């Protein structure tokens, strides 16, 4: 998803926080983080058009996006 699309849904602060993850998480925090990531990924995949899906970088289980 492009920054332009993301910026319509999230504030700049939310976008910045999405790319910052603590190095150490408790098991409880890790489980909550994993659940949130899975929900976000599912929502993102559901919103993708077939064209988006074909041209997107690998979206398998990458936890962090690379910005080119």
Give the Å distances, CA to CA, from 53 to 2, 5, 60.
13, 15, 11
Q: What pLDDT is recorded for position 23?
A: 62
Helix ranges, the chain (H): 3-9, 12-18, 27-47, 50-55
Q: Is the pTM of this model over 0.85?
A: no
Mean pLDDT, residues 12-21 taken together: 76
The separation between CA 33 and the C-alpha centre of its own chain, rounded to angstroms, equals 11
Q: What pLDDT is recorded for position 1?
A: 64
23-65 pLDDT tens trace: 677 889 889 988 998 999 888 888 888 887 777 665 544 444 5
Mean pLDDT, residues 7-31 taken together: 80
The alpha carbons of the chain give a radius of gyration, in whole angstroms, of 13
């Amino acid at each position: 998803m492009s920054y332009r699309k993301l910026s319509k849904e999230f504030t700049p602060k939310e976008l910045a926080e999405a790319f910052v993850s603590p190095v150490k998480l408790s098991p409880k925090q890790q489980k909550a983080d994993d659940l949130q990531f899975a929900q976000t990924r599912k929502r993102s995949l559901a919103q993708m058009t077939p064209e988006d899906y074909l041209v997107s970088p690998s979206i398998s289980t990458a936890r962090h996006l690379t910005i080119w």
